Amino acid sequence: MPVADRTKQIASDDILLFCTFRNEDVRLPFFLDYYRKLGINHFLLVDNDSDDGGHDFVKEQPDVSLWKTKGAYGEARYGVDWLTYLQGKYADGHWALTVDVDEFFVYPFCDTRPIRALADWLDASQVRSFGAMLLDMYPKGPVGQAHYQRGSDPFEAANWFDPGNYIMSKNKLLNNLWIQGGPRARTFFASKPKQAPALNKIPFVKWRKPYAYVSSTHMMLPRGLNLVYDQQGGEKTSGILLHAKFLNTFEDRVVEEAARGEHYNAGREYKTYAERHGTDPDLWCQWSEQYINWRQLEILGLMSKGNWA
Amino acid sequence: MTLGVVMLVHTGFDRAAQMVRHWSDAGCPVVVHVDSNVGKKAYDQFVQSLADLSDVRFCARHRCEWGTWGLVAASQEATTLLLEEFAQVQHVYLASGACLPLRPVQELRAYLEARPDTDFIESATTADVPWTVGGLDRERFTLHFPFAWKKHRRLFDRFVQLQQAVGYKRAIPDGLVPHMGSQWWCLTRQTLDAILQDPNRATYEKYFRRVWIPDESYYQTLARLHSRKIESRSLTLAKFDFQGKPHIFFDDHLELLQRSHCFVARKIWHDANLLYQVFPRPSDPSIASQEPNSSTIDRVFSQAVERRTRGRQGLFMQSRFPSTDRQNCIAAAPYAVLHGLDDVFPDFQSWLTKQTGAQVHGHLFARDRVHFADESTTYRGGLSDSARLRDYNAKMFLTNLIWNGRDDYHCFQFGPSDSQDIRWTLAKDTQASIWVVSGAWSIPLFASGRSASDVRAEAARLQRIEDLFLKRLRSPQAYARIKITTLAEFIEAPMEMLQSIIDEIAGHKGNALTEVPKMADLKGFPDFLQDLKNQGMHPFLTGNITVGNTGKSSSPQRRKPYVISQK
């Protein structure tokens, strides 16, 4: 159900952002700011029955089209179905970035080149999809003590990450890489590593009508879009989604989502958090790295410039 | 004498118009060719936007598809018009709408005026340069290419294969020696006249129409026929990636471009406002006579090609996942696997650390937990000591460990009590050096003080596991550096292997060993092994251990260590 439909403004080569959210009023202002600065032209947002002020806030934004739904998040394949419909309708022929409200896209040269430069370069290279691994960011000290203020940069508080403990294997069915690891595998899932959350993501795609995400933005159909990695030893160009999950907002989310049980596998991940660490874990360790910029992530080998220079 | 410009345009008309003005303002007549695929409205608008310039012409239009004759036809058309209309033109510069002059056009003109007879065109024989993508170098001159490479790749490839299979070869016209090079040239009027008015032009054209990517070979070949003086280089800075597509310059390339002193660069990103604002740089007499030098840019872009095609050895990440079925160099740096040595020398780990300064880990693959060098619970990169997590993907645990600490040399202890999933990876990896003392697992069993009948089953299990590992190490697919010795051989002359290990780890820094690690007390060990045999469990991997050889080495301190370095 459209709340604010400004899709008529979308120009033929606009770069679009797709996102579903629920009760994210506190995060939305910085989120929109961040992506406007990268050069997103239009935001297509789906509000999953929020009851805070976020709905009214985004409704008034001049570059946002907003839909609202009351359907349960879990039933609609974690929000993917709603977005698939909108993507099919509005994204055909556009570059489309699909992210969550707590995911911040970083790509090579993102501090000097707008996202259109990336899109144009990918077009020129005849690349249709662009991978960006999810990188969990966390504060030094208990997560609950990293206070996030509406509108501020979440990575001022949560600016640490695990630099070198990611493992991956190939999903033979869809040809995507399945990546796990990071602080969540290390702390919450050490005894059941198979259940550790997937970190592989393919958020930036030159959209065509029949395309569809299969599970969140982890993998896609047709399968060729999942080949964002090289198998001969070379490196394809890739980015990172900085994940601003572990802030004081995490605590409320864990309690709420564990009770709602609508995320993947009835919110198993959130239940694990709640059981294992209370809701206020400390993820920092002596090998944590403090975030500086994309070049640091490139040198560490978490993302790659590939042949973009 | 004047410089004239032929500009090929198919998109980005606002920038193209801006470039036409640059050239025109500097006194260069311009003939523009617009791809006939461009719609009438866009074309008319473009022509209109330049209507105020008297020295700008638009020539008849051809269809310009990548790699086809149309591009040559377009430049021929435009060049003919330019030479006809502007008699004062002595050099013709071929540019595109995405070519940006970096230096004042006056400097380029002065440069050409000082070299009135020189043709600047990159032109090399196909036999000598491996530039081409897709392996078609010589063959692009001898086969037919009726199918578009970009649109009908499969047909293109099939047809090429077919011609190769039947041994088809087109004849190259007499007198022509195929040359190729960058399509962006700057030729003299004389050379162009000779090419365009060549009595054989029709024959050559007929031939080049069927050559693959003729715009990289037509002028390059014919200039060799007619030019008085060829400088085989392009005055246009253009870099290509591993697929032969041009690299694009962005605002953050400003400094690189400034330092290159190149006259013209391409391709410039349409929205690189800063570049379009800064270039062409204002004239500056102090640097006006600088020769173009693109070596820094060359380095940056060849690094990019290197990263895309070869990548960083030993890195497994989201966009680099080399198949290890096809490659044998797995980890990022050399490392050593020490199998059984810590059974013979109980404090081997600390001794080796002291001797080499390397990162000497305990049993990384122990079943209880990961024993990192510092026995910590997390290690570099955030690796956990959880055995479960490690075993979930043992290979990536190892590659991560080495990648994270690739500045150091890593060694770790290994044995049959450890988790064994990693053994194939170790055996295959050319980065691994594996030192095995087989049968050494019997020493801790002996030292436990339990009787042979008690440990019989355990001994059999360990021996079975170790035997499997040895089989892997002896398979033809084992590419690691492997040295296997039996326990019996080892304790007869331990210094030899120890010195080799030290030399390998410390390299030239390795000293002759002065301090020998303390060997486990082996008094009574032969009897223990005999008891095992009597129980029916033959420890065949230990070799033949007798009272004689254990006695000698149980007091190694008395021997004067005298070892000749292996290196």
**Global ipTM:** 0.92
> Could you give the CA distance from residue B110 to residue B349 in angstroms, rounded to a whole number?
72
> Residue B189 has what pLDDT?
95
A-chain residues near B388 (CB < 8 A): 190-193
8 A C-beta contact, residue A217 and residue A203: yes
Interface touch A308/B310, C-beta < 8 Å = no
- Is pLDDT of A18 > 70? yes
Q: State whether residue A173 sits within 8 Å of chain B by CB.
A: no
Identify all chain A residues contacting B251, using CB atoms and an 8 Å cutoff. 112-113
- B473-525 pLDDT per residue, tens: 999 999 999 999 999 999 988 988 999 999 888 876 556 777 788 899 989 99
Positive or negative: CA dihedral B109, B112, B114, B117: negative
Between CA B368 and CA B374, with CA B372 as vertex, the angle to 5 degrees is 125
**Separation between Cα atoms, residue B401 and residue A165, nearest integer Å:** 8
Residue A266 has pLDDT above 60, yes or no: no
User: Which residues 90-109 on chain A approach chain B with CB closer than 8 angstroms?
Assistant: 109
Residue B378's SS3 state is strand
Point out which residues pair with B95 in neighbouring strands. B7
* Residues in chain A, overall count: 309
Q: Has residue A309 been placed in a domain?
A: no
Q: What percent of chain B has pLDDT over 90?
A: 66
Is B319–A194 a contact, with Cβ atoms under 8 angstroms apart? Answer: no
Of A207, A215, A194, nearest to A264 (Cα)? A215
Domain count for chain A: 1
pLDDT of residue B566: 47
- What confidence category does residue B561 fall into, taking pLDDT thresholds of 50, 70 and 90? very low
User: Which residues contact residue B79 at a Cβ distance below 8 angstroms, ignoring those fewer than 6 apart?
Assistant: B6, B31, B92, B94, B192, B196
pLDDT at residue A164 above 80? yes
Do A163 and B382 count as a contact with CB atoms less than 8 A apart?
yes
Give residue B176's pLDDT band: very low, low, confident or very high (50, 70, 90).
confident
Nearest to A238 among B243, B319, B323 (CB): B319
pLDDT in the model for residue B507: 76
Interface residue of A140, A161, A288, A304 to substitute, partner B, most B CBs within 10 Å: A304
Q: Quick check: do B2-130+175-309 and B335-558 share a fold? A: no
Say yes or no to pLDDT of B526 above 80.
Answer: yes
pLDDT at A219 over 60: yes
Give the pLDDT confidence score for residue B290 in this predicted structure.
Answer: 87
* Partner B contacted by A305 (CB < 8 A): yes
pLDDT for B120: 95
Flag whether pLDDT at B345 surpasses 90: yes
Question: Is there a contact between A98 and A217 (Cβ–Cβ < 8 Å)?
Answer: yes
Q: pLDDT at residue A215 above 90?
A: no
Which residues of A fall within a CB distance of 8 Å from B322?
A: 230-233
Q: Mean of the pLDDT values across residues B376-380? A: 95
Distance from CA of B244 to the nearest CA of A (A): 10
Q: Domain with A227 in it: what CATH number?
A: 3.90.550
Residue B130 DSSP symbol: -
A276 at interface of B, judged by CB pairs closer than 8 A: no
Measure CB to CB from residue A131 to each of B243, B319, B376 and give the nearest one.
B319
Note whether A167 contacts B396, CB cutoff 8 Å. Answer: yes
Please check the confidence at residue B557 and state whether its pLDDT lies above 70: no
- State the nearest Cα–Cα gap between B493 and chain A, in angstroms: 41
Chain centroid offset of residue B420 CA: 33
Q: Could you say which of A191, A192, A231 has the minimum Cβ distance to residue B321? A: A231
Whether A201 has a pLDDT exceeding 80, the answer reads: yes
Domain-located, residue A30: yes
Quickly state the pLDDT bin for B307 (edges 50, 70, 90).
Answer: very high
Across chain B, mean pLDDT equals 89
Least confident residue range of A144-158, A196-210, B296-310, B537-551: B537-551
Lowest mean pLDDT among B42-56, B61-75, B358-372: B61-75
Q: By the 8 A CB rule, do A66 and A3 touch?
A: yes
- Minimal C-alpha gap between B306 and chain A (Å): 8
Locate the domains of chain B by residue range.
2-130+175-309, 335-558
* Predicted confidence band of residue B167 (pLDDT cuts 50, 70, 90): confident
**Across A143-151, average pLDDT:** 88
CA nearest A196 in B: which residue?
B389
Model confidence at B149, pLDDT cuts 50, 70, 90, reads: low
Q: How far is A304 from chain B (nearest CA, A)?
A: 7
Rg over CA atoms, chain A:
18
The answer to whether the CB atoms of A286 and B252 lie below 8 A apart is no
The average pLDDT across A126-153 equals 93
| B42-61 confidence digits (pLDDT tens) | 999 999 999 999 999 999 99
What is the DSSP-derived secondary structure letter of residue B511?
P
What number does CATH give the domain B2-130+175-309?
3.90.550
Read off the pTM.
0.89
pLDDT for the residue numbered B304: 92
Domain annotation covers residue A308: no
Strands, E assignment, B147-285 = 179-180, 186-188, 229-231, 236-238, 264-266
In a domain, A307, yes or no: no
Q: What is the pLDDT averaged over residues A152-166?
A: 95
In this structure, of B304-318, B444-458, B509-523, the range with the lowest mean pLDDT score is B509-523
Element (H, E) at B78: helix B70-85
pLDDT at A76 (0 to 100)? 53
Q: Rounded mean pLDDT of B327-331?
A: 87
Is B335-558 in CATH node 1.20.5? no
Q: Quick one: pLDDT band at residue B323, thresholds 50, 70, 90? A: confident
Confidence of residue B564 (pLDDT cuts 50, 70, 90): low
Residues A51-59 have a mean pLDDT of 91
Asked if residue B234 lies in contact with residue B121, where contact means CB atoms within 8 angstroms, the answer is yes
Least confident of A68-77, B189-198, B257-266: A68-77
Q: Provide the pLDDT confidence category of residue B554 given band limits of 50, 70 and 90.
A: very low
Q: Do the chains contact at B382 and A131, CB–CB below 8 Å?
A: no
- Which residues of chain B lie closer than 8 angstroms to A177, CB-CB? 318, 321
- B252 contacts A288? CB cut-off 8 A: no
Q: Is the pLDDT of residue A15 over 90?
A: yes
Q: What is the mean pLDDT of residues B364-373?
A: 96
Q: Give Cβ neighbours of residue B51 (< 8 Å, ≥ 6 apart).
A: none
Show the domain range for A183. Answer: 2-300
Bridge pairing between strands B383-384 and B432-438: unpaired
Shortest alpha-carbon distance between residue B395 and chain A (Å): 9
Answer whether residue B153 shows pLDDT above 90. Answer: no
The length of chain B in residues reads 567
Q: How confident is the model at residue B339 (pLDDT cuts 50, 70, 90)?
A: very high
B11, B255, B319: best to mutate for the A interface, most A CBs within 10 A: B319
Six token digits for residue B323: 């198949």
Among chain A residues, the shortest Cα distance to B394 is held by: A167
Place of tokens 């084992």: B478
Determine, yes or no, domain membership for A141: yes
User: Does pLDDT of A2 surpass 90?
Assistant: no
Does A283 lie at the interface with B, CB-CB under 8 angstroms?
A: no
Question: How many A-B residue pairs are in contact by the CB < 8 A criterion?
Answer: 178
pLDDT digits (tens, 9 = 90+) for B101-133: 999 999 999 999 999 999 999 988 876 665 555
Q: Which of A244-258, B191-205, B290-304, B492-506 has the lowest mean pLDDT?
A: A244-258
For B320, the closest of A192, A194, A229 (CB atoms) is: A229
Give the integer Cα–Cα distance in Å for B517 and B498. Answer: 10
Residue A292 region by backbone torsions, left for phi larger than 0, else alpha for psi between -120 and 50, else beta: alpha
Whether A293 has its CB under 8 Å from any CB of chain B: the answer is: no
More confident residue, B254 or A217: B254
Amino acid identity at A238: S
